[in-house]
Amino acid sequence: MRGTLLNTATVAAGSTVGLLVGKAIPGTYQTVALHGLGLVTCGIGMKMFLQGKNPLIPALAIAGGGVLGLALGIHQGIELVAEWCKAHLGQSGANHFSEGLVTSFVLFCIGPMTLLGCIQDALEKKIELLSLKSTLDGIASIFLAALYGAGVLVTAGLVLIFQGTLTLSAKVLRPVAENERMLSETTAVGGAIMMATGLGLLEIANLKPANYLPAILIAPIAVAVEQRYSKLKGTA
């Protein structure tokens, strides 16, 4: 858990700095910075998406995951958590609180570095990957908190819960990390979700990326089915 604790601390520290700095940044400059983050996020998402080998699997996972996420009300649930946090943190009138929480959660928790880093931390007691991720997240949280406010600071707690769960589940998740196809297609799905987040930052479309989170679970299952089918076909 050392890597996750470090990651949580850097996000909390970066968010605190961003909250202090954000008060001194005029709204016009905040918008320019926000769109810049959107462009970078779309670029990172595209790079991740292109790591996939079979575009049908991400397509199936994203479509199915989006429907499942909508049915489960994932985005709505996160919005309720954000509203509860706003009320208890005295942020009831704060703008962009919910957007900041959802956007920063997707940016900090979706991607291969999160999965691989947590598994490495749990099974090999190494935190090099999560240390690098912590640095990147800490820097990003400064800008996000300056733009979105206290919602990004709350995300530090979600990082602790999410990555802590991955770390504790490392033995179960290890086959996914060691299967190149599963990892590449899961990364591609994460990239699509990142691009949805980037479009939101650019104010082009609000696709509610949190609803697509189940796709990350569907992708490795789809690969496992495909590989099983190929194996049976090869022995037939």
Q: Are 121 and 3 in contact (CB under 8 A)?
A: yes
Q: What are the backbone dihedrals phi and psi of residue 8, each rounded to the nearest 5 degrees, phi first?
A: -60, -45
43 token code pair: 């670029």
Predicted confidence band at 218 (pLDDT cuts at 50, 70, 90)? Answer: very high
Burial class (CB in 10 A: 0-12, 13-18, 19+), 7: buried
**Higher-confidence residue: 21 or 111?**
21
**pLDDT digits 0-9 by tens, 145-165:** 888 888 888 888 888 998 889
At residue 59, does pLDDT exceed 70? Answer: yes
Mean pLDDT over all residues of the chain?
Answer: 85
pLDDT tens-digit series, residues 68-94: 999 999 888 887 887 777 777 665 545
Rounded to a whole number, what is the distance in angstroms from the first to the last CA of the chain?
46
* Position 58 confidence tier, pLDDT thresholds 50, 70, 90: very high
State the pTM of this model.
0.80
Rounded Cα distance, 158 and 153, in Å = 10
Closest CA to 222 of 74, 57, 63, 38: 57
Split at pLDDT 50, 70, 90, the class of 235 is low
Q: Do 47 and 194 contact (CB within 8 A), yes or no?
A: no
Percent of the residues in the chain that have a pLDDT greater than 70, as a whole number: 95
Token pair for residue 135?
Answer: 């640095």
